[in-house]
Amino acid sequence: MSESSASVLRRAAIRTLAGNWRGTSTVPSPSLYPHQWSWDSAFIAIGLSHWSQRRAETELLSLFGGQWQDGRVPAIVFDPSVDEEGYFPGPSFWQSNTVSGTAPLATSGIVQPPIHARAALDVLRNAREPARARAFLRRLYPRLCREHDYLATRRVVDESGLAAIVHPWESGLDNSPSWDAPLARVPVDRSLLQRYQRRDLQHAGSDERPTDDDYARYIRLAANYRDSGYDDGRRLPSTEFLVIDPLFNALWAWSEEALADIAEVIGLDPEPHLRRARHLGEAMTELLFDSELATFTAYDVLARARVPRRTVAGLVPLVLETLSPAIVRSLTQQLTSAHFGLLDSDIAGVPSYDLRAPDFDGRRYWRGPTWLNTTWLVWRGLRVHGRDDLAAPLAEAMLELAAGAGFREYFDPRTGSGHGTRHFSWSAALILDVVEDLSRTGAHTVSVAE
């Protein structure tokens, strides 16, 4: 990348992050998502760490300000200055203030993929003031441990030791085709759509968002969880959706590895974290790896069966350094095959769903489009396993997507066109990370449209 084109892209990313900053945290999007989201904040902190270490630290600390006493880090921490109409489901739907042990700020009651320890470690690695970053890590470490312990104690539902999710939103890949079969058991109550109004369709086309039927199911699952008092212990046996997701568990294990590094930095014992990370990796291989499909798949706990779909979630376990070489080979073959088209010049980034599946849809949310966060995770995974030959073209593809379409929420992998909301924070943050990384090594010529 030439110095000047790198700085165009870098400046555009910083402009987006600065525009979405709200004083102590960053909104994913000023229009569609006007509060603080959990895994978004982790990606955002990674980007911010290249520009403002203080903002990166504040982003994570403010998110953990919403942590519940049971250790869960809620998917959304609501900004009290945004009115209820700003986003559905908002504070009056989740009613976190009626639950004991919740934070003073209103939050949602579900979680999202636990990638925060990894983000905190990246903040240290990119820090210009390392002593300050170490103090930050000392503060955050106990909260990160509680986040992971919540999963280990409240979300493990079988002998695998892996964490189950109770709502598709907890996966971060809301309407992934992997949820079709488990969701089919959830009755569609259309009256819920009259009682509660979808707000997302005011900001994005209905052909790019989840369907009404799926939305009715999401509301039902969330309302049932709320009405149980968010009590995992009592609720899990009677829930209508209970799934063990490879991306969620891979990020937990990857974060557990990061916690081990953080523990060492602050003078504590890394061993318990390494043990848990190893165990999670082995359990994932045993329960979630589908050797016929040659990828990781989700496990539907209620049906006691794997969900045989190839999605990007099945490739994200590449981030784990303890994966066996045979599985790493399967995943890289999968990535470069016609299912994901990594080396195909007609395909941009890593599609969220199998390009060859009959229901692949390049524009509908998590059912085909390329997202920059999952593509970035695969990029990191390729580098963990020394596959720079594949990581380098993927980095290039990410930059080209942002250069061509701006920091959109997602992109059609077949055309590179941008979709969903604009000025999307994690797209900007992760592009900033890639630019900084490549500016140390590579040479690219890109400029950005925003």
The residues that are catalytic are 174, 409
The nearer residue to ligand 9WN, 136 or 407, going by C-beta atoms, is 407
Q: Does 245 bind ligand 9WN (CB under 6 A)?
A: no
CB of 419 vs ligand 9WN, minimal distance in Å: 13
Q: Can you name the residues that pair with 419 across neighbouring β-strands?
A: 410
Residue 37 binds ligand 9WN (CB under 6 A) = yes
H or E element that contains 296: strand 295-296
Q: Is 232 in the site for ligand 9WN (CB under 6 A)?
A: no
- Tell me the C-alpha distance between 331 and 381, whole Å: 10
Using the rule CB under 6 A, is 407 a contact of ligand 9WN?
A: no
* Contact yes or no for 192/211 (Cβ under 8 A): no
As a whole number of angstroms, the distance between CA 436 and CA 432 comes to 6
Query: Which residue minimizes CB distance to ligand 9WN?
Result: 28
Q: Is residue 241 involved in binding ligand 9WN (CB under 6 A)?
A: no
**What whole-number distance in Å separates Cα of residue 419 and Cα of residue 416?**
9
Looking at residue 195, its amino acid is: R
Q: Which is nearer to ligand 9WN, 169 or 296 (CB)?
A: 169
Q: 44 to 103, contacts with ligand 9WN by CB under 6 A?
A: 75
Nearer to ligand 9WN, 71 or 172 (CB): 172
* Nearest residue to 214 via CA among 168, 171, 165, 164: 168
Half-sphere exposure of 19 (CA within 13 A, CB side): 17
Smallest distance, ligand 9WN to C-beta of residue 200, A: 6
Site string for ligand 9WN, 169-208 (x = CB under 6 A): x--x-x-------------------------x--------
Closest-CA residue to 285 (of 161, 154, 111): 161
Q: Which is nearer to ligand 9WN, 281 or 362 (CB)?
A: 362
Cβ-based nearer residue to ligand 9WN, 200 or 232: 200
Q: Is 39 in the site for ligand 9WN (CB under 6 A)?
A: yes
Q: How many residues does the chain have?
A: 450
At residue 357, the 3 state secondary structure works out as coil
Percent helix, percent strand, percent coil in the chain, to nearest 5: 55, 5, 40
Strands 305-307 and 298-300: antiparallel
Q: Look at the block and give the residue holding tokens 């990638």.
A: 115
Q: Which is nearer to ligand 9WN, 277 or 372 (CB)?
A: 372
How many chain residues touch ligand 9WN (CB under 6 A)? 10
Question: Does residue number 28 form part of the binding site for ligand 9WN (CB under 6 A)?
Answer: yes
Q: Which of 21, 33, 410, 411 binds ligand 9WN (CB under 6 A)?
A: 33
Q: Enumerate residues 6+ apart whose C-beta is below 8 A from 402.
A: 9, 13, 372, 427, 428, 431, 446, 448
Shortest distance, position 272 Cβ to ligand 9WN, whole Å: 29
Which residues bind to ligand 9WN, rule: CB under 6 A?
Answer: 28, 33, 37, 39-40, 75, 169, 172, 174, 200
